[in-house]
Amino acid sequence: MKLDLTDRKLLATLDMHGRITVSQLAKKLRLGRDTVNYRLQRLIKEGIIKHFTTQIDATKLGYYVYKLFFRFQNVQKKEKDEIFDWLVKNKFVYWIAESRGRWDCNMSIFAKDIQHFDEIHSEFIDLFGKYILEQEFNITLEVGALQKNWKLQKQKRDLRKLYHEKSQTIILDDIDNKILNVIASNARLKTTEIASIINTSERIIKYHLKNLEKKKIILGYSISLDYEKIGKQFFKSIIELNVCSKELKNKIKEYCKSRPNIIYYIFCVGSWPLELEFAVENNKEYYEEMEKLKEAIPEIKGYETLIFPKEYKFEWIPK
């Protein structure tokens, strides 16, 4: 589906304000409410918006984020389906994608500590280790999501930090946990609907939602897109740096804000310190972006490229 300017404005707004009401959205875009609602429902019906996500700070729930990369061997469709089915069902695996390049699979895991991560990893290896030719893992230090406002003639985009140095753990009550589980992948549910699902009053839901936002357990609300349906491809660049100082990190973040095709940055500890994720129209546009990046950041020693043809799971909380 080809997006016009109104569609792109709508998606850019929802990307940072996923729970905004249709009336508020119409006012922000200076359009009629019926027009906005029709556009929104069309984007959902066409599958361009896959779901509305609640961005949850896992560090405040006591989790670290570990990323795993696997290269498979002797894997046919049956074995591949078994592997990804197990990963999708594991409540601590919150993001999984099939990849092309050096790695066949990339995933992110919530774990309380390195021992917990080892338990999850060991269980997977016990089941599927014979299919693993090569693997790598790293620990995430910081993740930033950049507003998807492609071709809106806006030089600097909004940035939301989704994960950073581990915060003090906040103990949630039963209602908090239920709310987060209900809205993790359905952020636009009305408070009346949430109340009905977890069998409590709307007043209590509003109080708890406000408290979760105030404590920054809920960082924001966004959208998950099917990039293929809007003519985009999803790339990851794994980047080696000569140094990784605080000043260089800030420089990279500012650069990312100025480049509309960069949608996430990830700083990590492991075999490489930086990953950038892109939504671009084709290979040519991706490699042009990388040439510009190398010119702007001469500290880059080299990089390797992954393409994600399919995303299997993306949830912000262990479920």
Give the CATH number of the domain where residue 76 resides: 3.30.70.100
In a domain, 52, yes or no: no
- Based on the domain organization, do 108 and 208 belong to the same domain? no
E strands along 189-257, which residues?
A: 218-225, 233-241
- Based on the domain organization, do 42 and 65 belong to the same domain? no
Provide CB contacts within 8 A for 150, sequence distance 6+.
Answer: 8, 12, 260, 261, 279
With a threshold of 0.75, does the pTM exceed it? yes
In a domain, 128, yes or no: yes
- Based on the domain organization, do 17 and 79 belong to the same domain? no
In a domain, 186, yes or no: yes
- Based on the domain organization, do 187 and 304 belong to the same domain? no
- Based on the domain organization, do 136 and 237 belong to the same domain? yes
In a domain, 54, yes or no: no
**pLDDT for res 76:** 96
- Based on the domain organization, do 244 and 303 belong to the same domain? yes
Q: What is the DSSP letter of 80?
A: H
- Tally of domains in the chain: 3
**pLDDT for res 154:** 56
Tokens of 35: 């027009």
Provide CB contacts within 8 A for 76, sequence distance 6+.
Answer: none
In a domain, 51, yes or no: no
- Based on the domain organization, do 231 and 143 belong to the same domain? yes
- Based on the domain organization, do 185 and 104 belong to the same domain? no
Quick one: the chain helix, strand, coil %, rounded to 5?
Answer: 40, 30, 30
Give the CATH number of the domain where residue 18 resides: 1.10.10
- Based on the domain organization, do 65 and 142 belong to the same domain? yes
Segments forming the whole domain that contains residue 35: 5-46
- Based on the domain organization, do 133 and 267 belong to the same domain? yes
In a domain, 264, yes or no: yes
Rg (CA), the chain: 20
**pLDDT one digit per residue (tens) for the chain, 319 residues:** 788 989 989 999 999 999 999 999 999 999 999 999 999 999 999 999 999 999 999 889 999 999 999 999 999 999 999 999 999 999 999 999 999 999 999 999 999 999 999 999 999 999 999 999 999 999 999 999 998 876 555 556 777 888 776 678 899 999 999 999 999 999 999 999 999 999 999 999 999 999 999 999 999 999 999 999 999 999 999 999 999 999 999 999 999 999 999 999 999 999 999 999 999 999 999 999 999 999 999 999 999 999 999 999 998 888 7
CA 55-11-98 angle, to 5 degrees, is: 60
- Based on the domain organization, do 42 and 190 belong to the same domain? no
- Based on the domain organization, do 303 and 263 belong to the same domain? yes
In a domain, 317, yes or no: no
Longest dimension (CA), the chain: 58
